[in-house]
Amino acid sequence: MPAEDTVFYVLYDKFMFWSIIVAIFTFGWLFTAILRYRDGVEPDTTNIDHIEVGAFPVDRHNTTLELMFYIVPTFLVVWLTVMALGSNSAVWNFDEEAETFDITVNAYQWYFEFVYEESLTWEDTETGFDVAWSAGSMQVTSEGNTDSTVEVKMGTIKTELFFNGTDITGIPTATYSPFQHNYVKVFDAEGVLIHTWEHIPVGHKLITPSNPMIIPCDEVIIANMHSKPVDASDTRNVGVQHAFWVPEWGMKEDFVPGLESGTTLGFIPDDAGTFPIRCAEYCGMQHSIMTGEVMVVAREGMTCDLDTGVKKSSTSSASNYDGGEM
């Protein structure tokens, strides 16, 4: 969801267009009046509608023109207001039939915490690798014969396996559980991450800057946002003001300290990839280091391509994520 895809970007263009039109007429008449009716220019006495400097032409006036001075600007302001309100409806009133994904975003001094209210299972596509689970056993398949290393994490247990490029079945005694954090990562011979499969359970937490916020593409993301105090035992401390800002999306929402219900941010990411997060509200001495990333991924078995109606993913989306656990 680049900034140019957002409704506010389109709205900006519309407002800019009409501002230029109004400016052309306004400043055009202003400079014309300055040149024609400036002090020192003799009035045209042969024209009954002449204008004298410092005198209001009360004897003759154009009623239609004067009414247009009120009617046209009024219609323009009303139309721009309706257009602006319509954009708000498009942003905040999502399609009730659209898929939603709920996540809680907590802001501390000085990091973001992402708490998953729903589980998410995702996998890179178009990498030549595939991860599948059957009866608790993990299987990795590859289209090539490149030697690689497979790192498997199931809950708190991590295991590394050598993969020679053919089908591999590993960890046969491990029990897959949807209630724990699991991932399978494939690294090439140089140790570069080339494929990721991951399951994030309900209640799992990811914290910046070491971990990104991972969300599925083409779904309505509902982020419930809270500002949290550093010391929860001090009831006088209700946190400080923060702002969740993704510059490439043109999207920002404030964390309001002391607001129990928090604030809500809704958006629909449609491009797979990794995008920077910034805190856009001064929140203390280390405000500048309050950064992070949001990673848009495809659910397992899906891609992220809106143009074809089929979701399409990006293999680069996992390149900066090490699968750290909290």
pLDDT band at residue 13 using 50, 70 and 90 as cut-offs: confident
State residue 309's pLDDT score: 37
Half-sphere exposure of 152 (CA within 13 A, CB side): 24
Whole-model pTM: value is 0.71
Name the burial class of residue 127, with classes exposed (0-12), middle (13-18) and buried (19+) by CB atoms within 10 angstroms of its CB.
middle
User: Which residue among 43, 76, 92 closes a domain?
Assistant: 92
Q: Same domain for 202 and 77? A: no
| Residue 135: closest CA among 171, 106, 168, 160 | 171
For 130-146, write each residue's pLDDT tens digit.
888 776 677 788 887 67
For 49-105, write each residue's pLDDT tens digit.
556 666 656 666 677 877 888 898 898 888 888 877 776 666 666 666 778 899 999
Q: Same domain for 67 and 108? A: no
Cα first-last separation, the chain? 28
How many domains, the chain? 2
Q: What is the DSSP string of 289-306?
A: G-EEEEEEEPBTT--EET
Q: Same domain for 154 and 72? A: no
**How far is it, in rounded angstroms, from Cα 265 to Cα 1?**
15
Q: Same domain for 216 and 140? A: yes
The boundaries of the domain holding residue 176 are 100-318
Cα–Cα distances in angstroms (integers) from residue 228 to residues 20, 79, 110, 152, 194, in the given order: 44, 41, 10, 34, 36
Residues in the chain: 326
DSSP bridge partners of 39: none
User: Which residue among 92, 127, 146 closes a domain?
Assistant: 92
**How far is it, in rounded angstroms, from Cα 93 to Cα 87?**
10
The share of the chain scoring above pLDDT 70, in percent, equals: 76
Q: Is the predicted pLDDT of residue 7 greater than 60, yes or no? A: yes
325 domain-assigned: no
Average pLDDT over every residue of 227-248 = 85
The share of the chain scoring above pLDDT 90, in percent, equals: 31
65 domain-assigned: yes
Q: Same domain for 153 and 45? A: no
Q: Same domain for 248 and 162? A: yes
Query: Quick check: helix, strand or coil at residue 184?
Result: strand
Q: Is the predicted pLDDT of residue 322 greater than 60, yes or no? A: no
Residue with tokens 């020679």: 164
7 domain-assigned: yes
pLDDT band at residue 226 using 50, 70 and 90 as cut-offs: very high
Cα–Cα distances in angstroms (integers) from residue 5 to residues 9, 43, 170, 277, in the given order: 7, 55, 43, 18
CATH code (residue 196):
2.60.40.420
Of residues 87 and 223, more confidence is placed in: 223
| Residues 139-160: b if buried by 16+ CB within 10 A, e if exposed | ebebeeeeebebbbbbeeeeee
Q: Same domain for 87 and 116? A: no
Of residues 3 and 25, more confidence is placed in: 25
Q: Is the predicted pLDDT of residue 311 greater than 60, yes or no? A: no
Q: Same domain for 76 and 125? A: no
Q: For residue 106, give the H/E element and its range.
A: strand 100-108
State the average pLDDT for the chain: 80
State residue 175's pLDDT score: 67
Token pair belonging to 49 = 């509608």
29 domain-assigned: yes
Q: Same domain for 36 and 162? A: no
Of residues 110 and 63, more confidence is placed in: 110
pLDDT band at residue 174 using 50, 70 and 90 as cut-offs: low
